Amino acid sequence: MQIDLSNKTALITGASGDLGRVMARTLAVCGANIVLHYNNNEAKTKELQQEIAALGRRAIIVQADITNEQQIYAMKDKVTEELGHVDIVVANAVIQYQWTSVLEQPVSDYVSQFESCVMQSVYLAKAFVPAMMERKGGRIIGINTECAMQNFPGQSAYTAGKRGMDGIYRVLAKEAGEHQITVNQVAPGWTISDRDRASGNEENVSYSQNVPLKRRGTDQEIANTVAFLASDLASFITGAYIPVNGGNVMPAI
């Protein structure tokens, strides 16, 4: 048994980011052609495009502000023209900001998290799900966070955005399910990425001591879960919020 995404096309928003790059490589290794979305980091995205081409897959680059509805539709039109329909959409992009308390957090940060978590999900659904319905199949995968269950001090804007995203995905799973479209979320913990490896900051005892598996997860472990959900192996899983964090948070029944 193996994950086979041959003849599939996957769109990854925020593909130039720490997690996005590994997701893109992993889906390409599984056989998918890749749409690499970026907002600002064109140079890094072009490097990733070359890596994927070296794997024998097609990869195109699209620039868009994921909080702008018209730019999402323009991205869809470009992808359709160059690669055809999209089978897998991974909503990974999110706006970064400085965390602080509710009383000190600028209101603009709540707006940015709503736009990049909730509205990105809505725009992507409106742009790509109708064609999936026509073809009777597709995969929508959102990158959420363990913070949505933690609700720790300082997390308010991020948590609010991701919990709103969770609501959109659960409703969409019910609305799109009859068309054999699955809609799921992957919720990473504090994940080790290339940035941590380069700085030697791969471990943090104060975090890991509370994780049942006693370590931080890796970017590859997140990407593996995305690949599984994108595949036919997960054809009967939808509406799920899946923590990939060594048990640091555990959804209850």
Which listed residue (123, 158, 169, 241) is catalytic?
158
User: Which pLDDT score, from 0 to 100, does residue 200 have?
Assistant: 83
User: Which pLDDT score, from 0 to 100, does residue 194 have?
Assistant: 86
User: Which pLDDT score, from 0 to 100, does residue 203 have?
Assistant: 83
User: Which pLDDT score, from 0 to 100, does residue 202 have?
Assistant: 83
User: Which pLDDT score, from 0 to 100, does residue 39 have?
Assistant: 95
Domain count, the chain: 1
Domain holding 58, by residue range, is 9-244
Q: Is residue 82 situated within a structural domain? A: yes
DSSP codes of every residue in the chain: -----TT-EEEETTTTSHHHHHHHHHHHHTT-EEEEEESS-HHHHHHHHHHHHHTT--EEEEE--TT-HHHHHHHHHHHHHHH---SEEEE----------TTTS-HHHHHHHIIIIIIHHHHHHHHHHHHHHHHT-EEEEEE--THHHH--TT-HHHHHHHHHHHHHHHHHHHHHGGGTEEEEEEEE-S-B-HHHHHHT----HHHHTTSTTSS--BHHHHHHHHHHHHSGGGTT--S-EEEESTTSS----
Q: Is residue 231 situated within a structural domain? A: yes
Q: Is residue 2 situated within a structural domain? A: no
User: Which pLDDT score, from 0 to 100, does residue 123 have?
Assistant: 98
Q: Is residue 165 situated within a structural domain? A: yes
* CATH of residue 52: 3.40.50.720
Q: Is residue 251 situated within a structural domain? A: no
Q: Is residue 1 situated within a structural domain? A: no
Active site residue 158: yes
User: Which pLDDT score, from 0 to 100, does residue 147 have?
Assistant: 97
Q: Is residue 4 situated within a structural domain? A: no
Q: Is residue 182 situated within a structural domain? A: yes
User: Which pLDDT score, from 0 to 100, does residue 1 have?
Assistant: 80
pLDDT tens for the chain, residues 1 to 253:
899 999 999 999 999 999 999 999 999 999 999 999 999 999 999 999 999 999 999 999 999 999 999 999 999 999 999 999 999 999 999 999 999 999 999 999 999 999 999 999 999 999 999 999 999 999 999 999 999 999 999 999 999 999 999 999 999 999 999 999 999 999 999 999 988 898 888 888 899 999 999 999 999 999 999 999 999 999 999 999 999 999 999 999 8
